[in-house]
């Protein structure tokens, strides 16, 4: 994609702005982005770690209210330390990355509000599978969803609906077995 302004160089800066539901995209080369005021010299060295650590420093801002109020909670946040690697929350926010797997559990309470803000309220990642490439996987996920629904219906004593879901599970399992070539 070429720069929308000079049309000489490849666009390396891509900005999307949504105002009142109206989407506006700008695609510029580095020099045009600097001329237009979208970047300055310091932003050229902006890293992913800078972005992540910036998110951690935003805690408590915005209309949702303050997440951490008062000196006592601020001290708790600063003294929070991972038992696995010894990383403190303050060090984590500066580095933007964890020291070990235990950090996820240690800092979980602080991460949930950030992940909710970044991921539009979602805190779990389920992933996506392309329809063409993930036939078996999509079928297995459908079967698992149907089984969960079946258990709920049985618990609610809705046996007629449960029987229909059971039949749907059997159909999906047969389809899965056919895709494998009949092996089971």
Residue 73 lies in a domain: yes
Asked whether the predicted pLDDT for residue 149 surpasses 90, the reply is yes
**C-alpha to C-alpha distance for 83 and 105, rounded to whole angstroms:** 10
Residues 55, 87 share a domain = yes
Residue 68 lies in a domain: yes
Asked whether the predicted pLDDT for residue 37 surpasses 90, the reply is no
Residue 162 lies in a domain: yes
pLDDT of residue 164: 96
pLDDT of residue 165: 95
pLDDT of residue 15: 84
Residues 172, 113 share a domain = no
Residues 104, 55 share a domain = yes
Residue 126 lies in a domain: no
Task: Write the pLDDT tens digit of every residue in 130-139.
Answer: 666 666 778 8
Q: What range does the domain containing 110 cover?
A: 50-118
Residues 24, 80 share a domain = no
Mean pLDDT of 97-109: 85
Confidence label for 154 from pLDDT (cuts 50, 70 and 90): very high
pLDDT of residue 161: 94
Number of domains in the chain: 3
Mean pLDDT of 29-54: 68
Beta-bridge mates of residue 23: 18
Residues 39, 18 share a domain = yes
Task: Write the pLDDT tens digit of every residue in 3-26.
Answer: 999 999 999 888 887 777 888 888
pLDDT of residue 70: 46
pTM: 0.36
Residue 123 lies in a domain: no
Residue 130 lies in a domain: no
Task: Write the pLDDT tens digit of every residue in 158-184.
Answer: 999 999 999 999 999 998 888 766 554
pLDDT of residue 156: 94
């Amino acid at each position: 994609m070429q720069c929308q302004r000079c049309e000489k160089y490849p666009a390396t800066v891509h900005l999307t702005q949504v105002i009142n539901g109206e989407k506006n995209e700008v695609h510029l080369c580095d020099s045009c982005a600097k001329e237009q005021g979208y970047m300055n010299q310091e932003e050229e060295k902006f890293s992913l770690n800078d972005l992540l650590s910036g998110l951690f420093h935003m805690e408590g801002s915005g209309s949702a209210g303050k997440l951490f109020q008062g000196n006592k909670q601020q001290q708790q946040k600063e003294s929070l330390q991972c038992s696995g690697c010894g990383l403190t929350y303050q060090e984590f926010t500066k580095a933007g990355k964890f020291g070990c797997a235990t950090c996820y559990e240690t800092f979980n309470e602080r991460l949930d509000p950030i992940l909710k803000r970044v991921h539009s309220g979602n805190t779990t990642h389920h992933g996506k599978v392309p329809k063409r490439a993930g036939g078996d996987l999509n079928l297995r996920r459908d079967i698992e969803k149907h089984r969960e629904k079946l258990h709920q219906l049985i618990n609610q004593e809705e046996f007629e609906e449960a029987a229909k879901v059971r039949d749907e599970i059997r159909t999906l399992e047969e389809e899965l077995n056919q895709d494998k070539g009949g092996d089971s």
